[in-house]
Amino acid sequence: MDARRSTRTLLAGLATAALLAGSAGAASAADASPAGDGARALCKRAPKVDQRIDRALKRLDAGKARRGSVARLQQRVDNAKKAGHTEIATFLQGRLDTRESLKKDLEQRKKDLAGVKTWCAKNGGGKKDSGK
């Protein structure tokens, strides 16, 4: 009986110690985060980010036959209105508004990314990162 109790007490103590050690390790790992703004990494990823934005804009700008395009969703809204399905039209209109907003955001990101690419070219691909 006493052996079981001491074993349980020992295991509970070890578990508590492990939790405390784990949280202390996580705190020290958070303190060891690198300084800087990540310019080098962003400069390295810029071409792929640009491709992803282009691909998304191409899909949004496609015609009615392309899934995910603004034109196709607009056609669905129009069809729902013609059929008198006001609830469906309202739901789809909300999606259309979101998709049009996404298109504006992506166009702005494309402009911003062009500035980043220019900066990266002038600064050696971000190797002159102030944090390092």
Q: Could you report the per-residue pLDDT of 67-120, keeping only the tens digit for each?
A: 999 999 999 999 999 999 999 999 999 999 999 999 999 999 999 999 999 999
Q: Furthest-apart CA pair in the chain: how many Å?
A: 80
Q: List, for residues 2-50, the tens digit of each pLDDT value.
A: 666 666 665 566 556 555 555 555 555 554 445 678 899 999 999 999 9
66 three-class SS: coil
11 three-class SS: helix
**CA separation, residue 100 to residues 65, 91, 104 (Å):** 17, 15, 6
Q: Is 12 exposed, middle or buried (0-12, 13-18, 19+ CB in 10 A)?
A: exposed
pTM, two decimal places: 0.65
